[in-house]
Chain A
C-alpha cells in the first residue's frame, strides 16, 4: 500500500483533531513529524528526546530497535512525547489508514499526559531540560574524560530505581522547622497533685514509661536519617562524599528518572485509553469502507493477546470498556454488589448512561495500581481468561498458579506495585556507629536476586566510600548482605 505523504497527513490531521475535541479530549497542541525508521529507532532509543547526554546504553537500545525493525520483528508506529507542545513522530512508510489510526491514538495519549494526575508534576519543557543535561555532561566529559564520567553514569544508572515513586504527590514527613519538634526537649507530663496524693495521681510506672518514651524519641533524633527514606538517590546527593560534578550528574539521573516514572506507573491505563479512543474515532467517524480491512488488521494486531502474557493495550482498553458499560448500566454500588442472583446481575441495566463521564474521571485520578485495584472484577477476569502465575521452586519455571479472582488480583497488583521494583529504604547512615550505610528491603513476598544485589552493592560502595549493607530476606531467612570494599559477606540475622 502507498505510504501517506506529508500532504495527506496535513489534510486529515485537523479533521481528527476536531473529532477528538468533540468527544471531549483535552490536549496540548500537537506537532506531528514524519520520520524514517532509522530516525525513529534513534529517537526511541533516546526516550523520544532528540538531545540526550552521550552514553552507550542509548546505543544498545538503538541496536536492538533497529535490528528488530530490519529483521521484520517489530515496528514502532508512533512515539509521543509528554511536553507542551506535544511532539508526535509518525513512521514515514505507513499508509494513510495506519496514520489516521495513529494520529487518533496520539491525541488520546496527549490528553492523558495533560490530564492524568500522575503527570501533573512533570516538566513540560523537558526537551530543553534534557538538552541542558546533555550539555552539562558533555562539559564534564571535556574536563574529566569520557571514561571517568561514563563509569560514574553507569554507577548512577545502577541505582536509578532507588527513588520514591510517590514523593511528587505526597508529603512523607512533617517539616521540622515548622513544628519545632526537634528543638524543644519534651518533658514528663505530670498531673498536679498534693504531695501525699502524688503516688496515686502520677504512679511511678507511668513516670517510668514516659521517661522511656522520651529516651526513645531522643535516640530516634540521633538516628540518621531520622526516618527511613526511599529516595536513596537524594539521600546520597545530600550525604555522600561526592565531587561537585558527580553531585550534578547524580541529580540529572534522578531528575530524569522522576520524569519517566509516571509513564511506567500508567502504562496499562495510558495505552488502554489511547486504544479506546483510536477505535472509537476510527469506527464511528473516520473509517472509509475501503479501509475497513486494513484498519481491522492493524487494530487486532494492537490488542492481540499473546498466550500467557498481559498485553497492556488489550487489558487497558477492555477495562475502560468494561467500566463504561458498568457505569452506563449502573452495575456498581451496594445494591449491585449485594445482589446474589447471577442471572439478575448479568442482565442488570439501570440505564444510567454514566459510562463516558466515569472513564474521563478514571483517566484523571488513577494509576495502574489503583486502576486494577478498583476496577478489576471477578467477571472481567473470567471473561478475559486471566490467571495468576508464580515461580515454582521445584520445577524451576514459571507456571500458571490459579484462576481465583483474589489471587489473580493480588499477583497483578504485586507485579505493578512500585513499578515492579523492590521497595528499598535508607534506614541508617551511621550503622554500627561507623558511618556505614544500611539499606533495608521491605520484604513482601519476593526475594531479591542475589547476584544483582551484590553487584549493586559494589556500585553503591563506590559512591558511599564506606561499607554498605542491605537487610533483606534470602531463602526465607533475614539476612544482611555487606560489601566493605573488599569482599561480599552475608550475615544471617539471629545467628551469632
Chain B
C-alpha cells in the first residue's frame, strides 16, 4: 500500500516548530508540561493544533459516567472528556495525553529535544546490585502471582486428570497450580552522579518564578536520572545567606531579604569538597535566580569562586535566570562577559514557562 504520510507529517511538525503558518500558532496547545503525577506515572500532552469550532464550554456541561463515587466526587482528569460526547469520527482511540513512566518520559524528552546521551566521566565504576524479575517459581507473595501461568498450570492439570470439560471450559486453580514471578539479583556497573541545585529565594522571587524553577528542575532531574542510575540530589537555598535544605523545603520556602549569590556558591563548593571528589563523581550544579545580586563586588566574588573552585570540578554548571520582578537582573550578563570562555558553564535566560523547553535544550544539549 502506498501512502504519502511523510509530507503531511512533516508539514505538521513544521507548524508545531513555528516554521510555517504562523496563523495557526495560537491554536497549538502546549499545556502544562507536567500533568498529574499519580504513582509513578506522568501525563504529558502531545503537541496538537486545535482548530477553533463552535463547541461547548464548561458552563452547564455534563454527561454520563460509570464507576464508584458519591455525588460531589471529582472525575478523574480535569477536562470534560469523560463523557461519550467526545467520541469523534476517528477510528480507534483518539488520545491527547499519554501516561508514561519517568523512564519513558526521559526517553521521549531525549528524542524530542534531540538530547545526546551523556558520556559519564567517572573513572571508577561502582558496581551495584539490582533485582530483575526473570523467572517463575512455585512459591512467592500473592502480589507477585503470575495470573496467566497459574491458569495455564490449572488447565494442564485438569486436562491430565481428565477433569476438563470441553463443553464447559471452567478452570479452577488450586494451591499447587499457583505460580509466582521470581527474581534474580544481577550486578550493574554504575557511575556516580550528583546534582546540586541552588535557588535564590530572596523577596524578589515570586511564586511564578519558583514555578518555572520547579518545572525546569523536574525535567533536568528526569533526564539525569535516566542517564545515571542512583543519582543523588542536594538542595541549597539562599537569600543574603545560604543553607542546605531538603527537597520539599527547596520548592516551598519563601524567604525575604536581599541576594548575595556568593554565599550559595561557597556552600556548593564546600559540599563538593567534602562529599564528592571529582575524580569519582559526575557533578552537576544548577543555579536559578532572578539575577538581582546585592553588589558588583559580590558578582566578582562569584566569578572567582566559579572560575577557581567550582568549574574545574563539575561536568557542568548551569545558570538559569528567570524574569526579575524589578526588571533589573544583570547577573547573567556579568557571567556572560567574564566567564563565557568556560565550556562547562551554560547560561540560559528563562523569561516565561514557554521558554523552559528551549532552556532545557541549552542546558542538556551538549551531552556533558
Contacts and interface: CB of A to CB of B under 8 A. Distances in A.
Contacts of A414: 62-63
Given A293-B152, A386-B65, A398-B80, A391 B54 contact: no
A436 B8 CA distance: 36
Interface stretch (A67-75, A178-186, A242-250): A67-75
A168 to B, nearest CB: 15
Given A55-B8, A60-B49, A446-B56, A74 B70 contact: no
Interface stretch (A98-106, A193-201, A359-367, A401-409): A401-409
Interface stretch (B10-18, B124-132, B250-258, B305-313): B10-18
B57 to A, nearest CB: 4
Given A59-B11, A448-B55, A264 B89 contact: yes
A261 B64 CA distance: 21
A446 B65 CA distance: 18
Contacts of A287: 169
B184 interface: no
Contacts of A263: 89, 91
Interface string B15-42: 1000011011001000000000000000
Contact of B148 (A43, A293, A419, A421): A293
A420 B62 CA distance: 10
> How large, as a class, is the contact surface on chain A?
35 or more
A449 B54 CA distance: 7
A63 B46 contact: yes
A268 B85 CA distance: 11
Contact of B5 (A42, A260, A400): A42
A459 B52 contact: yes
Contacts, number: 297
Contacts of A64: 46, 48, 94-96
> How large, as a class, is the contact surface on chain B?
35 or more
A71 B104 contact: yes
Nearest to A68: B95
Given A44-B91, A57-B12, A160-B53, A67 B46 contact: yes
Interface stretch (A45-53, A209-217, A223-231): A45-53
20 contacts: A42-B5, A47-B90, A47-B91, A58-B8, A64-B48, A73-B95, A76-B92, A147-B20, A308-B66, A308-B67, A308-B69, A309-B76, A387-B67, A389-B83, A399-B72, A399-B73, A402-B71, A412-B63, A414-B62, A416-B85
The 9 closest A-B pairs by CB, nearest first: A420-B85, A59-B12, A390-B62, A455-B52, A449-B57, A59-B8, A415-B63, A415-B85, A412-B64
Given A56-B12, A401-B62, A408-B64, 5 more contacts: A61-B90, A64-B46, A293-B152, A387-B71, A399-B71
